[in-house]
Each structure stands twice: as structure tokens, then as C-alpha cells.
Structure 1
Amino acid sequence: MGGSWWEFIAGELRQARLQAGLSQEDLARRINYSASHVSGVETGQRAPKADYLAAIDQALGTGGMFGRLLRHASLVQGAPPWMRPWIDDERAATLLRWYEPAYVPGVLQTEAYARMTLAESLLSADEIEQRVASRLGRQAILTREEQPCQLVAVLDVMVLRRPLTGHAALMGQQLAHLVKMAALPHVQILVVPEDAGLYPALQGGFIMASLSDGSVVAYLDYQIRAQMMHRSEDIATLQRHWGAVRGEALSRRQSLELIKEAARSWI
């Protein structure tokens, strides 16, 4: 199974069972699994699956804790190693300012679009599925019931026009999803039009996360690694770039109309 998160969950499962005064055989009878299955999970020989953890949560009255741990573990384990430190900051952010010159931002991607953008990579099929699951899991920050994260995304117009070869319908579905997400009160999707020409930051996307303590951290993604930034000088530079690209973008209403027009063009 491997991985510190899975080992952590296995250890917590064992601890919860012991605190409840249950042997592995006792717990197995309660959740209708075999004792060997319980042992396999606790020793790391079996991966903890969602249905198993749901049964544990119900049997031990843990309020869904183990299900939540599994979702977070899947989110982190499926992400590239260099991205994992960023995920916690992203989940804690009250505001994300996201600039993308090439792709739809990950938190706004459909499953099909996410899979297609990873399909040309050198990843195995299993790695692609893990990363797709992680990317989709990150989107919960926008749809959670309590204090969803505010998002202001600025996209270069070529994001709307760049074809996924042989998959015009998929692009149409992705842009229709952008229209749906843009209707959320805490989500703004702005587009830099073609007549902006060359402008600062066009050479690479970045994300700035504002945290509840007033601090800002940033994330720059490259092909084989990423860089997180905390230094005030670096953040100030990115904020100037953000001001520049935001200034080139169309208004929220104009951007939405452009996205709708692009979506129709892919049908």
C-alpha cells in the first residue's frame, strides 16, 4: 500500500478499535468483514476502501471521520509529490487568484478535460487516474457548504480556443461547465481578449492563495516540478503581475459572453 497517509489511517483504525475495547475478531463481526480483512488493513497489507471505512465509522460512531481521512488521503496521494504541500494551503484559502495562459484551471476542469490534459504525459494509466481523482477532489473548495473559497480566475482567450485534437464536443462540455461555475456568487472567471497582445505574465500561470491569517502564499507550476513562494518580495512581484493581467481582462459579464460564444463554437 505504501505512503505515510495510508499508514497513518491504518494506525488510527487500530487505535480506534483498541479504544473501543474490541479485538479484530469483534470488530470484524460488527462490520460484517473477515478478521483477516481487518488485520490486513491495520497492518498495511490492504488498502482502506470507502465502503470499509464507512462501516467502521458507523460501528464505532466516529461521525464519518475515517471517510473524511480517506478522501483527504486520496487527494494528497494522487497529486504529484511537488504539489502536495500546496494542497493544504489551497484547502485553507479564503481567496484564490488564479492566472492561466494555457489550460482551464484545475479546480474548474471537467473529468474528461482533466483526463485529456494528462493523456499526453508519460504517466501510466493508473497514475493518470490517481491524478484525475486528486484534481477533481480539489474542486470541493468551491462547492462545500460552509465558507466556499472565493475564486477569481483570469484566463487567456487561447484557453477557450485551443483544441483538444479530435475532441471538439469535449471542449464544448468544458466551456459549458465554466459557464455553470461562473454563475456561483463566489466565482469570477475573467478572460484576457486576443487584442491585448503581449502582456506581463503571459509566459506562465500562477496561483495566489489568501489565508485566514492575512498571509498570502503562491504556487507556480512547471512541467516537472513546482515552486511555492512565501517571501514578501516574491508575493509583491506576483501581485503586480496579477494587477497587470486583471487590468487586461474583460469584465465579468463580457467574459461570460465570450465563454458562451466559444462554447457554441465547439458544438
Structure 2
Amino acid sequence: MEAEPTSELIRGQLRRLRLNAELSQEEFGKLVHYSGSQVSAVELGQRPLDRLFLKRADEVLNTDGLLTSLLRMAERDGQPSWFRPWLEAERTAQQLRCYHPTLVPGLLQTENYARAVIRADDMLSDDEVEKRLAVRMDRQSILDQPQPPKLVAVIEESVLRRADEGFRGLMIQQIAHLLECVERPQVSVHVIPTDISTHVGLAGPFTLARGEDGGWVGHLENQLGGATIDNDEEVAILLARWESVRSEALPQRQSTLLMKEVMTSWS
């Protein structure tokens, strides 16, 4: 769902920039590969804001990415209320610790892997899938900041190996992406091998973020959404469980070798 105030701001900015460029809707439409009536529908709010359309508009109007940046803001504002505190904590984190027993963590997912994961919810329309995908990909931009957070992720070997023949090409791409990520000095990925049959982390995924003030907050996911955890006692429990989960995982070098072995076995 779009955040209406921000969406109206985008539409107003689009119209203002088009008029300043002395372009009619028809002229502008030809430049962005849309009809004049489609441009009119976007400006009037009769057509949903489209990332590709706004990207082309930014290029044609030479806005330095203004419109797509505003769309990202609208998408963040349109997130469920339970998710917004975590998005802010993640955005300003100095350090992130992620564990997921069944998936590659969102900050390390490729676009194709993320789309497949989101699309698994058959209650979502194609448009909603793409909106959620755009937000997830946008969240990853924190890793490209001048001073990115230190990200430590722990995943299960079974996550890497869970793929039927039709999914293997996607997983090869995903594992290759993980190997590229760990070449960054601020990212490390540790794998818990399948011969570790049980540990405390299997109770569910969680992420921890340390802010600029040194304090930690946590995030828990579930089938209906999630929750940001800022209670000191509960955060302390999650920090202890992180240490337990991390101790079960292989060191970085061995984890990297294992990821390469899995990828090679499928190539």
C-alpha cells in the first residue's frame, strides 16, 4: 500500500519537473516510452507509481534520482507499523547479527532468490511481490554506505543444499553472491554444518542491531509478521542465543570452502 502523502508529493514533483522542462504529457510520454494518457493517469493518481517509469523520468528530467528516491521513501512509509521500528534500527546500525534456520538472510539475498521467497506467499499479487522485492533490495543499500555496518550472518548448510533441479541455477547464483559478499571486509557468513543436528537457533530466525549509542535491539520474524525487541532482558536473551548459535558455525574460511563445494557440486 502506498503512503499517500509521499505518493502525492512524487506526483506533484513529477508534474512540476515536466512543466519546467516545457514538455507536454505527450512529448514526455514519448521520451519515457509511455503514452500521454498514461503519463496523465500517473500524475492524477489514477495509475500506481511505477519504479521503471520513475527511473526513466529521472533520466529524462535529469533529477539525479530524485523521483526514485522519493518512491523508496513511500515504500518504506507504506510498510506495516510493526516493521518500521526495525527498518530504522537496521538503517542506523553499526553492527548487525543475523541468523535464519531456513533462508538466506534478506540483506544477502539476490534479487531472483528474494523474488522466489516472496512469491511463495500465494496470497500476494504480482504487483505486491514486486513492491516487497523493491523494499528488500533497497534495504541492502546500507552495505554500500561509506561507513557500512559490520554484518555477521549465520546460516544452515541445509539452506544452501535445499534445491530441486529447477531451483539449482538460482541457488548457484545465490551462493556465488554470498561468496562475493564475504570478500567485503565488513561482511562475514558462517555456516552451521548438517552434522549439528540440534541447537537453540532452530527455534526461529532473529536479528540483532547495535546502534550508534552501543545499545542493541532485536527483531523476530513469524508467519504473521514480526516484532522489534528493545526490552533489556529479552535483548540479553537474544544476545546469549546468538553466542550459542555462532559457536556452532564453522569459521569463515571453512564456511567459504563449504559454500564453494556446494556450488561446484551443482555446476
TM-score (norm: length of structure 1): 0.82
Equivalent of 1:32 in 4, 13, 23: 23
Q: Distance in 1 between matches of 2:65 and 2:112?
A: 29
Q: Give me the whole-angstrom Cα distance separating, in 2, the residues matched to 1:174 and 1:149.
A: 21
1:196 aligns with 2:187: no
Matching of residues 65-214 of structure 1 within 5 Å = 65-75=66-76, 77=78, 82-122=82-122, 123-144=124-145, 146-164=146-164, 166-214=166-214
CA contact (8 A) 1:75 1:138 kept: no
Task: Measure the CA separation in 1 of the matches of 2:100 and 2:237.
Answer: 17
Letter in 2 for 1:10: E
Q: Does the aligned pair in 1 maintain the 2:82–2:228 contact within 8 Å?
A: no
Structure 2: state its 5+ residue gaps: 27-36
What SS is found at the alignment partner of 1:219?
Answer: strand
Amino acid at match of 1:237: I
User: In 1, are the aligned partners of 2:179 and 2:259 still within 8 Å (CA)?
Assistant: yes
**AA matched with 2:6:** F
2:175–2:259 Cα contact (<8 Å) kept: yes
User: Aligned-residue CA RMSD in angstroms?
Assistant: 2.9
CA displacement at 1:71 relative to structure 2: 2.6
Alpha-carbon deviations, 1:238-259, whole Å to 9, x = none? 0000000111111111111111
Q: Identity over aligned residues, as a percent?
A: 38
Query: Does structure 1 retain, via aligned residues, the 8 Å contact 2:10–2:70?
Result: no
Residue identity in the other structure for 2:19: A
User: Quick one: structure 1 residues 124 and 27, their matched pair in 2 at CA, closer, same or farther if it must change by over 3 Å?
Assistant: closer
* Structure-2 residue corresponding to 1:21: none
Q: Distance in 1 between matches of 2:233 and 2:164?
A: 38
TM, length-normalised to structure 2:
0.82
Cα displacement (A) at 1:9 = 4.8
**Are the counterparts in 1 of residues 11 and 45 from structure 2 also a CA contact under 8 Å?**
no
How far apart are 1:195 and its partner, in Å?
A: 2.5
* Residues paired across the two proteins, number: 252
Contact 1:142 1:148 in 2 (8 A): yes
